[in-house]
Structure 1
Amino acid sequence: MKILMVDVDGVLVHGRPTDGLPLFTYLERDLNLASSLLQQEFFRPYWIGIVTGQEPIEPRLTEVLDRIAPHLTAQKLLDYWFENDSRLDRQLLADLARLKDEGTLLYLATNQEHRRAAYLRDVLELGALFDGIFYSAALGARKPESDFFRLVTDGVGVAPHEIGFIDDAEENIAAAMQFGWKALHWTPASALADAIAAFTQNVQATRL
C-alpha cells in the first residue's frame, strides 16, 4: 500500500471540541436557530449542490438566513459550525504521523464544501500532516459516487489496489472496494494498526 486515504468526519473529527457532541446540539440555545429548521430550509434542498461545487455556500446560506434567522449572518453561522465540528482524534493523528514517517503518503478523502476544506487544512492544520486533500466540491463528485474514487485515483497516479482507505460510512467503503481500493469500515473501536494489517493481508491474499 503506497497511499492511505482518510475520511474526515467520523474518523478524524468528532463533533464539538469540548465534549464530542454533534456540532448543532446547542444551536438553538446559542444562536436562536432550530437545527431542524436549518436542515429543512438549507441542507435538504441545497447541500448536495454546495458540497459538489455547483454553487458556493455563502450566497445560498445568506439567502436562507435572511428568511429564517435574519439576526444571523452567514459568516457567524459558519464560524460557529466550523469551531463546533473540530474535535480531532489525536491518537489517530499520531499513528498516522508514524505511518507517514515509514513512507506512506497520506491524503484526506472527504465530502466537503470549499470553506470547510480550507478550515480543515489551514486552521486545524491537517495540511501539515497530509500530502493533500481530495474533497467533493473541488472534484465535482461526492462519495459514494464512482466518479469520486476515479478522480482521486487519477489524481495520485497509482493503481487502485495500491490505495488504502478508512471511512466511517459503510456505503463509502463498499464503493471504494468496488473500485479496487483496499478499504476498511472505521468504527470507534478501530485502530490504525488493525487497518494496516487488514490491508496487508488483503494484498498478500490477492498475490496467492
Structure 2
Amino acid sequence: MPDRIIVWDFDGVLNANVVDGRFIWADRLEEDWGIDTRAMVAHLFDPGRIGQIMRGQIDLGDALAQWFTEAGHQIDVEAFLAYWFARDAHPDFGVMAHLNRPEARHVIGTNNEARRADYIEREMGFGARVERIFASGRLGCAKPAPAYFDHIEAWSGAAAEAHVLIDDTERNVAAALDRGWHGFHFTDANRSGLGAFLDQLP
C-alpha cells in the first residue's frame, strides 16, 4: 500500500522516557530545584488542568508560574522548561530505525502541548525525520478523541485503513482500530514484535 501512513506516538514509543510508569525527567526535581515533586504534579496534572494544557487552552508556562508563586518558589519558568525538556529527551534509536522504512509515510501523533512539541520538532530534530508532527496542543484536541484522528485523515487524504497507529496507550489504539485504522499497542513486553507487525501490514 504505497500511501500507508504510520502515526508514531512519541512518549513511550519513539522517546523512552517512561520507566515503570513514571516520567524519569522528574526524578531529581527536589535535589536540583528544591521542588516538592508530588505537589507540582498534583497541580499540573489535576484532571481538569492537564486536559486544558494538553489541548492548548492553558499555556504550560503560565500553569507552572502560577504554581511556583503559590508554592513560594522564585524560579524562572523558561529555565525550568529548558531543564524539563532536556531531561525528558531519551530517543529510542531501536524504534526510530523504523522511521527509515521507505514503504510508508511517517508522522508523529502525540498528546503534547505546543511548547514541548516545538522542542521535539526542532531541538530533538524529529521535524526532519517525519513529514509532520500532530500535537494535541496545536490541534486543540487529543487522542483518543475522534477529532484528533480526523485531523490526520484530512491531512493525508488517505482511507482510514491506510493509517497505522503505534501507541503505548491502549485506549488510543482501541480508538484507532474502531475507526478502521491498523494499530499496535507498544509495550516493553512486545517491542520486539514491532518489526514483524509492520512487515505484515497489507
TM-score by length of 1: 0.87
The answer to whether 1:84 aligns with 2:94 is: no
Counterpart contact for 2:107–2:133, Cα < 8 Å:
yes
Paired with 1:21 and 1:118, the residues of 2 have a C-alpha distance of 19
1:102-121 matches, cutoff 5 A = 102-121=102-121
Structure 2 unmatched ranges of 5 or more: none
- DSSP 3-state at the match of 2:166: strand
Offset at 1:21? 6.5
Unpaired runs of at least 5, structure 1: 204-208
Q: Which residue of 2 aligns with 1:54?
A: 57
**Structure 1 residue 133 displacement after superposition:** 0.6
Deviations 1:69-105 (A, max 9, x none): 42212112211210111111112212321x0xx2411
Amino acid at match of 2:39: L
Classify the secondary structure of the residue corresponding to 2:174.
helix
Q: Could you list the per-position Cα deviations for residues 2-44 of structure 1 after superposition, in whole angstroms to 9, with x for gaps in the alignment? A: 110000000011228xxx9711112111111111101122221
**Cα distance in 1, alignment partners of residues 44 and 6 from structure 2:** 33
Query: Quick one: distance in 1 between partners of 2:158 and 2:83?
Result: 38
CA RMSD of the aligned region, Å?
1.8
> How does the TM-score come out when normalised to structure 2?
0.89
Q: In structure 1, how many angstroms separate the alpha carbons of the residues matched to 2:119 and 2:199?
A: 32
Where in structure 2 are the equivalents of 1:24-173 lying within 5 Å? 24-44=26-46, 45-97=48-100, 99=101, 102-173=102-173
**What stretches of structure 1 move > 6 A for 4+ residues in a row?**
none
Identity within the alignment, %: 28
Number of residue equivalences: 194
